[in-house]
Amino acid sequence: MNFIVFLAVGFTGGYIGHKLKLPVGAMLGAMFAVAIVKSLGFITFQSGTGLIFFLQVCLGAMLGVTFLNFKKEYVKKVSLALFFILFGLVVMIFFIVLLLALVTDLSLPITILSSSPGAIYEMAMLAKMLEEDAPAVVFLHLARVVIIMTLFPLVLHFIIRFLAKRKRNEKAS
């Protein structure tokens, strides 16, 4: 019965988060709803290895669906760009983790997972598998997503205006 209440609370929270159009609203709504209800003592459900296995299979199946139309020629076309992106990400993550390790008391796995560019779902799942603080990883990822979603359009707009102005100046010359 506790499991059914857990699912009902999770689905209700997920639905509310989705309807509020929060970034990754279904996951965050479900997470916060279950956390609130659990902290109030209404449910005592603990996730076990069976549930985690089931969720990993579902996540793997969802990711597998995205590769249905993936062509090998595309990998060849973007391989150089992929190399530079991966190299840049590894260097960036190294410095971010180093900085976080110096200025916070977060564990090394949390700093790595929260600064890695993976999706919130996958990083939370990895944190749970490593028996780390998954909500901290989700919170840090969410903060990063909100900041990026707020700042990136402004930066992109500035870059487009700058390039358009530069192009006009070149034509005028």
Q: What is the pLDDT of residue 68?
A: 63
Average pLDDT over every residue of 8-37: 85
For residues 89 and 168, membership in a common domain is answered with yes
Q: What is the pLDDT of residue 119?
A: 76
Q: What is the pLDDT of residue 171?
A: 84
Q: What is the residue range of 13's domain? A: 1-47
Domain count, the chain: 2
Whether 5 is in a domain gets the answer: yes
For residues 43 and 86, membership in a common domain is answered with no
Whether 159 shows a pLDDT value over 90: the answer reads yes
- Whole-prediction pTM: 0.53
Q: Which residue has the higher pLDDT, 109 or 22?
A: 109
Chain centroid to CA 19: 19
Whether 141 shows a pLDDT value over 80: the answer reads yes
Whether 98 is in a domain gets the answer: yes
For residues 83 and 43, membership in a common domain is answered with no
Average pLDDT over every residue of 95-121: 88
For residues 40 and 116, membership in a common domain is answered with no
Q: What is the pLDDT of residue 23?
A: 66
Q: How far apart are CA 168 and CA 160, in angstroms?
A: 12
Whether 99 shows a pLDDT value over 90: the answer reads yes
For residues 43 and 85, membership in a common domain is answered with no
Work out whether the CA dihedral 93, 99, 138, 142 comes out positive or negative.
negative
DSSP state of 37: H
Whether 146 is in a domain gets the answer: yes
Whether 103 is in a domain gets the answer: yes
Whether 72 is in a domain gets the answer: no
For residues 113 and 29, membership in a common domain is answered with no
Whether 150 shows a pLDDT value over 80: the answer reads no
> Can you tell me whether residue 66 is helix, strand or coil?
coil
For residues 120 and 161, membership in a common domain is answered with yes
Whether 55 is in a domain gets the answer: no
Whether 92 is in a domain gets the answer: yes
Q: What is the pLDDT of residue 53?
A: 80
Going by C-alpha positions, the residue among 117, 116, 114 that lies closest to residue 141 is: 114
Average pLDDT over every residue of 103-112: 91
For residues 43 and 88, membership in a common domain is answered with no
Q: Which two tokens stand for residue 134?
A: 């998954």
Whether 150 is in a domain gets the answer: yes
